[in-house]
């Protein structure tokens, strides 16, 4: 995760997923017992049901519905932030420059890594995330793609963009509100200025 865009967006979104996972009651996955396991957030997003992957270039490729839904939210949020003039030049300049030169490798990596992170953080079992810690991802001294340290105002602006990205994909306002409260519990790891 050496890219500014990935680390900026991923780290904030990491707060969301981490706090949701921490607040979700996890029970045994043994479904043969009399008490059913509590569904994970990943389950509520579509879980492991296999569906055709409309984003794949491989004909007939399949993907878990939960991962596909997360992928859509992640990409929408990236686009909202990239269009946000309050954040894009400060935190997205590298990615915007790449995309402006028809180089989509940074965007593709950002999308995949964020989707991996959220898949794992929301309860998926078939994916791994190996990114930077939130503090490292938001520190220009440890992340060469981070243009600046985030302020509280930057954090608030990002959360607003996250809400817009989620709403574009039909995430309920109740869930967005609950997640937003949790996001702010970890603001101190992201805000370093």
Q: Is residue 32 part of a domain?
A: no
What's the CATH code of the domain at 178?
1.10.490.10
Q: Is residue 181 part of a domain?
A: yes
Domain containing residue 172: 4-24+38-190
Provide the domain count of the chain: 1
What are the Cα distances from residue 157, in Å, to 80, 84, 113?
11, 9, 22
Q: Is 150 helix (H, G, I), strand (E, B) or coil?
A: strand
Kindly give the confidence (pLDDT) of every residue in the chain, 193 residues in length, as a single tens digit, with 9 standing for 90 and above: 333 333 333 334 443 443 333 333 333 333 344 457 888 888 888 899 999 999 999 999 999 999 998 899 889 999 999 999 999 888 888 888 889 999 999 899 889 988 898 888 788 999 998 888 878 888 889 987 788 899 999 999 998 998 899 899 998 787 677 666 666 777 998 999 8
């Amino acid at each position: 995760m050496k890219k500014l865009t990935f680390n900026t967006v991923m780290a904030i979104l990491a707060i969301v997923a981490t706090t949701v996972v921490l607040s979700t009651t996890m029970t045994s996955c043994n479904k043969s017992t009399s008490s059913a396991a509590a569904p994970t957030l990943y389950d509520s997003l579509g879980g492991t049901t296999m569906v055709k992957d409309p984003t794949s270039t491989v004909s007939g490729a399949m993907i878990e519905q939960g991962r596909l839904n997360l992928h859509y939210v992640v990409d929408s949020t990236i686009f909202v932030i990239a269009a946000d003039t309050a954040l894009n030049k400060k935190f997205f300049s590298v990615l915007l420059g790449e995309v402006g030169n028809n180089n989509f490798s940074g965007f593709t990596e950002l999308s995949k890594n964020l989707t991996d992170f959220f898949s794992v953080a929301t309860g998926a079992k078939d994916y791994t995330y190996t990114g930077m810690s939130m503090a490292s991802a938001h520190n220009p001294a440890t992340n060469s793609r981070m243009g600046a340290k985030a302020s509280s105002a930057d954090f608030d602006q990002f959360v607003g963009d996250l809400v817009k990205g989620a709403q574009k994909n039909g995430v309920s306002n109740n869930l967005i509100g609950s997640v937003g409260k949790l996001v702010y519990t970890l603001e101190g790891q992201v805000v370093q200025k």
